[in-house]
Amino acid sequence: EGVGPQEYTLIKMKVQEPFPEKLKSLSGRNVYLVAATLRPETMFGQTNCWVKPDMKYVAVEMKTGEVFVCTARAARNMSYQEMMAENGKVKVLAELEGQDIMGIPLKAPLTSYSTVYTLPMLNIKYGKGTGVVTSVPSDAPDDFATLRDLKKKEAFRQKYGIKDEMVMPFEPVPIIEVPDLGNLSAVTACDQYKVTSQNDSEKLEKAKVEVYKKGFYDGVMLVKGYEGQKVQDVKKTIQKLLVSQNEAVVYQE
């Protein structure tokens, strides 16, 4: 890990009614899965949300009256950042595992897909961010490899109760043009490095290094309203837009 705190944007992905069993008691409230990202400018390309099936999550009350779903560790960090109700303490409203919120519909900001679903990603780390990850397969090789696995492998979908319609209609969206890698940089890099699955960690690592470096320093936005602007120059603007629309919060760890 680097020196000093890392700043993430937490993207609020709104859980749709009817709520799954473990969240039933919160019916009628504004409940969000909050996904930690370093790349708010890629939110135009979200296709789904990743949770880890056997990871423990909590639903906690925020001082806004909203409910956030994340790891207990992230909730504690949020309490230090004065985001909680109840004199700063963590108030747990529900405890659950990833599988309890698998395959549920969400509304996510900026993406062209009106509904996205939670899907399983097995290599989410507990000790980073919120344990909830938003998926942008156009620009993140891990996201592309995992979404492709789900599309190709019926057994993988079945194991976690994922229906075809939660996966099949969702394709990577061209949002950023990257020199040498085109407008679906993660797809190109996964092809170039011959990544065959989400578990192909060495090849994925090479693809990621290339995509992230070139994407961040040389990427140019294709999205309407930001066309031709450099990724570096719009990152903060888009983060602020999301925060001002109450669709994201800034979080450090």
Query: Where on the chain is the footprint of ligand A2H (CB under 6 A)?
Result: 6, 36-39, 42, 124-125, 128-129, 131, 133-136, 139-140, 143, 212
CA separation for the pair 94, 148 (Å, rounded): 32
**42 vs 198 by CB, closer to ligand A2H:** 42
**156 vs 212 by CB, closer to ligand A2H:** 212
**22 vs 214 by CB, closer to ligand A2H:** 214
Both tokens assigned to 66: 């909203």
Residue nearest to ligand A2H (CB): 129
Whether the Cβ atoms of residue 173 and residue 212 lie closer than 8 Å to each other: no
The CB-of-6 to ligand A2H minimum distance in angstroms stands at 6
Both tokens assigned to 166: 């939660």
**72 vs 85 by CB, closer to ligand A2H:** 72
CA separation for the pair 116, 106 (Å, rounded): 5
The CB-of-227 to ligand A2H minimum distance in angstroms stands at 18
Q: Provide, for the chain, the percentages of residues in helix, strand and coil under a 3-state DSSP scheme, each rounded to the nearest 5.
A: 35, 25, 40
The CB-of-27 to ligand A2H minimum distance in angstroms stands at 28
Per DSSP, the three-state class of 51 is: strand
Whether the Cβ atoms of residue 70 and residue 34 lie closer than 8 Å to each other: yes
**29 vs 200 by CB, closer to ligand A2H:** 200
The CB-of-134 to ligand A2H minimum distance in angstroms stands at 5
Both tokens assigned to 216: 């961040």
CA distances for 239 relative to 9, 56, 123, 176, 179, angstroms: 7, 28, 26, 16, 24
**62 vs 184 by CB, closer to ligand A2H:** 184
The CB-of-42 to ligand A2H minimum distance in angstroms stands at 4
CA separation for the pair 8, 28 (Å, rounded): 28
The CB-of-118 to ligand A2H minimum distance in angstroms stands at 14
CA separation for the pair 181, 213 (Å, rounded): 12
**134 vs 239 by CB, closer to ligand A2H:** 134
The CB-of-145 to ligand A2H minimum distance in angstroms stands at 12
Beta strands in the chain (DSSP E): 7-15, 31-37, 48-51, 56-61, 67-70, 92-97, 105-107, 116-120, 133-135, 176-177, 220-221, 248-252
CA separation for the pair 183, 174 (Å, rounded): 5
